[in-house]
């Protein structure tokens, strides 16, 4: 079974500052990793995913994440945030085989960008 831990429930940051949202996972097998964003009253939208290859993954809206197998982490970063990035961010994992594309989500991190 897999699990995801997002230690920070809320992250306040000023506009144009850098931000890192932390995600750690636990799994007895290799996994695929995802970051989703949820804007108020909207469904989840895929930001980026790691399936294989380069451990640095670039996504939409200037976000990127780095897969670190030894630390079982997949932290999300953005060098300069905008007010419009205010949203809830979810990290998720999926088993590479036999899981039927089943996603296991973390509890989410609320990013609040302030002027």
The least CB distance from residue 88 to other proteins, in Å, is 9
What tokens were used for 10? 């809320």
- 96 contacts other proteins (rule: CB under 8 A): yes
Rule CB under 8 A: say whether 7 interacts with other proteins: no
Q: Contact region for other proteins (CB under 8 A) — 13-21, 69-77, 78-86, 91-99?
A: 91-99
Helical ranges in the chain per DSSP H: none
- Choose which of 21, 76, 95, 111 interacts with other proteins (CB under 8 A): 95
Contacting residue, 2, 19, 23, 32, with other proteins by CB under 8 A? 32
> Which of 29, 46, 60, 83 is the binder for other proteins (CB under 8 A)?
46
d(Cα 111, Cα 89) in Å, to the nearest integer?
7
Beta-carbon contacts of 43 under 8 Å, excluding residues fewer than 6 positions away, are: none
User: How many other C-beta atoms are found inside a 10 Å radius of the C-beta of residue 112?
Assistant: 14
Q: Which is nearer to other proteins, 58 or 102 (CB)?
A: 102
Q: How many CA atoms lie within 13 A of 7 on its CB side?
A: 10
């Amino acid at each position: 079974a897999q699990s995801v831990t997002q230690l920070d429930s809320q992250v306040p940051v000023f506009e144009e500052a850098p931000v890192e949202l932390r995600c750690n996972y636990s799994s007895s097998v290799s996994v695929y990793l995802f970051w989703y964003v949820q804007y108020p009253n909207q469904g989840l939208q895929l930001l980026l995913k790691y399936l294989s290859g380069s451990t640095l993954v670039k996504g939409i809206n200037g976000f990127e994440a780095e897969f670190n197998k030894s630390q079982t982490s997949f932290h999300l970063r953005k060098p300069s945030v905008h007010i419009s990035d205010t949203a809830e961010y979810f990290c998720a994992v999926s088993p590479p085989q036999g899981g039927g594309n089943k996603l296991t989500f973390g509890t989410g991190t609320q990013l609040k960008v302030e002027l």
